[in-house]
Amino acid sequence: MARIVAIANQKGGVGKTTTCINLAASLAAMRQRVLLVDLDPQGNATMGSGIDKHNLEHSIYDVLVHRFPTRQAIQHAGEAGYEVLPANGDLTAAEVELLQVANMEQRLRSGLDEVAGNYDYVLIDCPPSLNMLTLNAMVAADGVIIAMQCEYFALEGLSALVDTIQRVAETVNPRLQIEGILRTMYDPRNSLTNDVSAQLHNHFGERVYRTVVPRNIRLAEAPSHGVPAMYYDKYSRGSKAYMALAGEIIRREEKLAQQAQAGALATE
C-alpha cells in the first residue's frame, strides 16, 4: 500500500508545487511507483508535469464531487516516470460543492483507496490555504511534508499549520503525523536563515530533513518547459537536492519498517 504524503503550507510561494513535481520525478527515478495528486485549482503541478490543464477530459474535481473513477482520471507524466491526477480551475467550485455532500472531508481518501495499491508513494500538492481541499488531503494522508522558507513570518504560519495537523489527527485521521520539515530556497549566507533553521532543529529535531533545497534558477525555469528540473538540467543544484531528498525519504521509510519489524518480533 502506498505511503500517502501531503505537501502543505498555507503560505504561497514556498516551493510546495516545485517540491511535489521534483520529488515525484526523483522517487520515480529510484524505481518507486509514484502518483502526484494536484489539489490546487491553479493546476501548476499538472502543467509542470507536461499535462495541459486546459484540455482535461476528467480531473480531480470529478473524483471529489462526482465520485468519478480515479483510475480513469489519472494521466502519465511522460518521461518523468510518474502518474498525475490532474487539476484545473474547475477545482475552485469543489470548495463550495463539497460543503453540500456527506462525508465531505473523506472524498479524496475514498478516491485514493481505489488506486493506492498501485503505488509506493502518493504525493498531494495542497493549495496555499487551510481550506476544505487541504482538509481532504490531510484526512487522506499518512503524513505531511511542510515546505517552508527560513524566514521570520514562516515560523508564525508554521504554528497554525502544526495546530491544524494535530486537530485532524485527534478527530478524523489518527495516523496523520508530520512527515518532515523541508527547508526551501535555502541560502546559508543569510544569518536569519541560519537562526530560523536552528529553531526548527530545536523544536522538530530529526523531523527536519538534512537535505535543503537551494535557490536555483533551473528549478524556476523547468515548469515552463513542462518537465521536472532533472529532465531540464540534471546537473543543477536543485535537481541534485531533490534526488538527495528522495533518498533520505526512502531511507527513513526503511528504518521505520525495520524498527516496526523488530518491535513485532520482540512482542512475540
Q: What is the pLDDT of residues 1-55, one digit of tens each?
A: 899 999 999 888 889 999 999 999 999 999 999 999 999 999 999 999 999 999 9
Split at pLDDT 50, 70, 90, the class of 180 is: very high
Average pLDDT of 227-256?
Answer: 94
- Sheet containing 121-125: give its strands across: 75-76, 83-85, 34-38, 121-125, 3-8, 143-149, 177-186, 208-214
Report whether pLDDT(185) > 80.
Answer: yes
- Model confidence pLDDT, tens digit, residues 59-106: 999 999 999 999 999 999 999 999 999 999 999 998 889 888 888 999
In the chain, which residue ranges form alpha helices assigned H by DSSP? Answer: 16-29, 44-48, 60-66, 70-73, 91-97, 107-113, 132-140, 152-171, 191-204, 217-221, 237-267
Separation between Cα atoms, residue 121 and residue 33, nearest integer Å: 6
What pLDDT was estimated at residue 264?
73
Count other C-beta atoms under 10 Å from residue 12's C-beta: 12
Give the CATH architecture of domain 3-267: 3-Layer(aba) Sandwich (3.40)
Separation between Cα atoms, residue 74 and residue 221, nearest integer Å: 25
pTM here is: 0.94
The tally of CA atoms less than 13 A away on the side-chain side of residue 35 is: 27
| Residue 239 contacts residue 230 (beta carbons within 8 Å) | yes
pLDDT > 90: percent of the chain: 76
| Residue 34 contacts residue 83 (beta carbons within 8 Å) | yes
Separation between Cα atoms, residue 220 and residue 44, nearest integer Å: 12
More confident residue, 157 or 171: 171
> Residue 108: which of 203, 16, 27, 40 has the closest Cα?
40
SS3 183: strand
The number of residues making up the chain comes to 268
Per-residue cell: 85: 491526477
Domain ranges for the chain, please list them. 3-267
What pLDDT was estimated at residue 247?
97
Q: Which of 145-149, 191-195, 251-255 has the highest mean pLDDT?
A: 145-149
For the ranges 149-163, 207-221, 233-247, which has the lowest average pLDDT?
149-163
Separation between Cα atoms, residue 182 and residue 185, nearest integer Å: 10
Q: What is the mean pLDDT of the chain?
A: 93
- The separation between CA 134 and the C-alpha centre of its own chain, rounded to angstroms, equals 11
Average pLDDT of 228-246?
Answer: 95
Report whether pLDDT(265) > 80.
Answer: no
What pLDDT was estimated at residue 23?
98
What pLDDT was estimated at residue 127?
92
- The separation between CA 231 and the C-alpha centre of its own chain, rounded to angstroms, equals 20
- For the chain, the first-to-last Cα distance in angstroms comes to 24
